[in-house]
Amino acid sequence: MIRLSAGTTNAYLLEARQGWLLVDTGYERDEQRFLRALRRHHIRVEDIAFVLLTHHHDDHAGLTARLTAMNPMIRVVVHERSLPLLETGQNDLSHGGYWLNHRVRFLAKLKKLVTPAWDLRFPPYRLRQGDIVVTGGRNESALRSLGLPATLLATPGHSVDSISVLLDSGEALVGDAAAAFLGFAGTHHCVVFITDLDEYYASWRRLIDARVETVHPAHGRPFPIALLERDLHRNSSQDLVPFTGL
């Protein structure tokens, strides 16, 4: 596994039978940083055979349209719930949304001041022939058919379409189903934006029950699953701040 840190979002590369599988892409605006990160590992966009999206948000799917334009042979692996959301080209708010707490909301305001162009939008992506659509709450076959010893598990709560990659080694690439980011703001391994906090913690329980050992988040460094067990339900729905725009 290779972790690519190009901006604030970690992308991951896994070696599949036909080439590299990239888990998430990062923001559109970080394209050059992403390409430099690839070059540091002597990997070209042409070497990427698959892009798997843990969910549709701008910091995870932002480069998908660009990468598939650069290498049309890339096949995108996506959950069926992501399809209509990717086509809109913006983060879904139709299912509700909350900042984790007031401290996180304040930090988001600062980020908007520093990055005025941040608007939760990304180039839309539409399903192409050859892409792989997974369904349901657990899929044992999609990645194994590509030569990867891994299971896909639905882990919603941050977004309705979130999925995680569970490797047989005990490692899990969870996207935003957990995080190691902004701990000083009281995140307790939650991501900063939540659609449904109860569902989010239920996804933690599914990861724990799946006997995951190490969590690889999209934001922050890897950490042991025991930290999710420790922090389960430490954040309260009473602390959530309704999202009213950036």
Q: What is the pLDDT of residues 174-213, one digit of tens each?
A: 999 999 999 999 999 999 999 999 999 999 999 999 999 9
Residue 7 has pLDDT above 90, yes or no: no
For the segment 81-108, the average pLDDT, to the nearest whole number, is 96
What are the tens digits of pLDDT across the range 111-137?
999 999 999 999 999 999 999 999 999
Where b means 16+ CB within 10 Å and e means fewer, 212-229 reads: beebbbbbbeebebeebe
Structure tokens at 83: 């399809």
Residue type, 141: S
pLDDT score for 47: 97
> Which of these, 147, 185, 152, 158, lies nearest to 18 by C-alpha position?
147
At residue 5, the pLDDT reads 85
Q: pLDDT at position 72, please?
A: 97
pLDDT, mean over the chain = 97
Q: pLDDT category, 245, cuts 50, 70, 90?
A: confident
Rounded average pLDDT over 96-124: 96
Per-residue pLDDT reduced to its tens digit, 149-179: 999 999 999 999 999 999 999 999 999 999 9
Please give the pLDDT value at position 163.
98
* pLDDT confidence bin for 214, thresholds 50/70/90: very high
Residue 6: predicted pLDDT = 77
223 — pLDDT class (breaks 50, 70, 90): very high
pTM of the full predicted structure?
Answer: 0.96
| Cα 245 from Cα 31, distance rounded (Å) | 25
The per-residue pLDDT for range 10-52, each reduced to its tens digit, is: 999 999 999 999 999 999 999 999 999 999 999 999 999 999 9
Segment 105-111 mean pLDDT: 96
**Token pair 């934006």: residue:** 193
Domain total in the chain = 1
In angstroms, what is the C-alpha Rg of the chain? 17
Check pLDDT > 80 for residue 140.
yes
* The pLDDT of residue 86: 98
Q: Tens digit of pLDDT for each residue in 61-76?
A: 999 999 999 999 999 9
152: left (phi over 0), alpha (psi -120 to 50) or beta: beta
Instruction: Give the residue numbers spanning the domain of 37.
Output: 2-242
- The token pair that represents 99 in the structure block: 């900042």
- Supply the CATH number for residue 155's domain: 3.60.15.10
